[in-house]
Amino acid sequence: KNQVEQSPQSLIILEGKNCTLQCNYTVSPFSNLRWYKQDTGRGPVSLTIMTFSENTKSNGRYTATLDADTKQSSLHITASQLSDSASYICVVSANTGGFKTIFGAGTRLFVKA
Amino acid sequence: DGGITQSPKYLFRKEGQNVTLSCEQNLNHDAMYWYRQDPGQGLRLIYYSQIVNDFQKGDIAEGYSVSREKKESFPLTVTSAQKNPTAFYLCASSLSGTGAYEQYFGPGTRLTVT
């Protein structure tokens, strides 16, 4: 069964600290993995995308990693800011020729001053 | 100013009434999608359309209907047959519908049915 599981479910950190969010997937055959940021009451916005051959991708203070062998990805946030408070969603697409994209439930990050 | 828009942002309806949510995009994307988001759950696909005049059921299509008469528009109707319609609805579009291209999301419509 195609699944995307994220951990932790929620996380509270102090402003300026780093954090790492995890994503495990069983989607097959793998096409790509994206991390989205979703502010409360808004639509998700793409942060990074990685294909099978990529194992690291950065976007400012956000760095995503991918281990296609273990089917794991992580999103590392450096020097967190209050504006990083949001849900972070891991999304995995399968290469089936048709549309098959699975969304994780997200990690809710709270950054405190 | 390119993008994807949804209206209204908040919608209130009485139980038993059908309601239509609007989604428009000017990105010239072929594919469009409707998702439902409930607290603590991932986005669930309701319907998607890979091209004009064609659409496919997603994982939770029961109680919903769509049309794709124009490339830029993909309205979603929540019918009275939907058992639990109160949710946050997100529309998205992408260049094509194979999953290889990024999906761009609208701001969402929060529907409350009482």
**Cβ atoms A66, A50 nearer than 8 A:** yes
pLDDT-derived band of residue B71, with 50, 70 and 90 as boundaries?
very high
The distance of B54 to chain A (nearest Cα, Å) reads 14
pLDDT in tens, A50-98: 998 899 999 999 999 999 999 999 999 999 999 999 999 999 998 776 7
| 3-state SS assignment for residue A83 | helix
Q: How many angstroms separate the most distant Cα atoms in chain B?
A: 39
User: Tell me, what's the pLDDT at B2?
Assistant: 62
Position B67: which residue type?
S
Nearest C-alpha neighbor of B94 from the set B38, B45, B37, B41: B45
- Residue A105 clears pLDDT 90, i.e. is over it: yes
Q: Do A101 and B42 touch (CB under 8 A)?
A: no
- Residue B1 clears pLDDT 70, i.e. is over it: no
How far apart, in Å, are the Cα atoms of A106 and each of A62, B21, B69?
16, 25, 33
pLDDT in tens, B2-34: 699 999 999 999 998 999 999 999 999 999 999
Show the tokens assigned to B51. Answer: 């091209």
Q: Do A31 and B102 touch (CB under 8 A)?
A: no
Q: Is B46 exposed, middle or buried (0-12, 13-18, 19+ CB in 10 A)?
A: buried
Instruction: Report phi then psi at A43, rounded to 5.
Output: -80, 155
B113 - beta bridge partners?
B13
How far apart, in Å, are the Cα atoms of A29 and each of A38, A52, B95, B100, B114?
26, 10, 21, 13, 42
| 3-state SS assignment for residue B25 | strand
Half-sphere exposure (Cβ direction) of B12: Cα atoms closer than 13 Å: 1
- Residue B42 clears pLDDT 90, i.e. is over it: no
Q: Quote the radius of gyration of chain A (alpha carbons, Å).
A: 14
pLDDT in tens, A4-24: 999 999 999 999 999 999 999
Show the tokens assigned to A52. Answer: 């099978």
Half-sphere exposure (Cβ direction) of B110: Cα atoms closer than 13 Å: 8
* CA angle in degrees (0–180, nearest 5) for B31-B11-B5: 30
User: Tell me, what's the pLDDT at B97?
Assistant: 80
The distance of A33 to chain B (nearest Cα, Å) reads 10
B92 touches chain A (CB under 8 A): yes
Q: Do B98 and A32 touch (CB under 8 A)?
A: no
User: Tell me, what's the pLDDT at A99?
Assistant: 72
